[in-house]
Amino acid sequence: MWCLEMHRIPGVARLPMRTFAERFCARYGVPPEGYAGRVFQLTLYRRTRPLVWLLRLIDPDYFACDYTFIRGVGRLKGLDDLLDEIRYYCGLPGNRGFLRRALRLRVSAARIAGLVETVMNDGQQPSLSGEKGMAELSQ
pLDDT at 12: 47
Consecutive H or E run containing 129: strand 128-130
Q: 66 lies in a domain?
A: yes
Q: For 9-50, what is each residue's pLDDT tens digit?
A: 455 445 568 999 999 999 999 999 999 999 999 999 999 999
Q: 65 lies in a domain?
A: yes
Q: 5 lies in a domain?
A: no
pLDDT at 7: 45
Q: 114 lies in a domain?
A: yes
Q: Which residues contact 113 (CB under 8 A, 6 or more apart)?
A: 82, 86
Q: 123 lies in a domain?
A: yes
pLDDT at 10: 52
58 alpha-carbon distance from chain centroid:
25
User: Average pLDDT in the 70-81 region?
Assistant: 94
69 alpha-carbon distance from chain centroid:
8
Q: 85 lies in a domain?
A: yes
pLDDT at 17: 80
Q: Domains in the chain: how many in total?
A: 1
Q: What is the DSSP string of 21-64?
A: HHHHHHHHT--GGGHHHHHHHHHB-GGGGGGHHHHHHH-TTTTH
pLDDT at 122: 79
pTM here is 0.77
Range of the domain at 50: 35-138
Q: For 81-137, what is each residue's pLDDT tens digit?
A: 999 999 999 999 999 999 999 999 999 999 999 999 999 987 664 444 444 444 444
Q: 88 lies in a domain?
A: yes
pLDDT at 123: 60
pLDDT at 16: 63
d(CA 133, CA 43): 10
pLDDT at 135: 45
Q: 118 lies in a domain?
A: yes
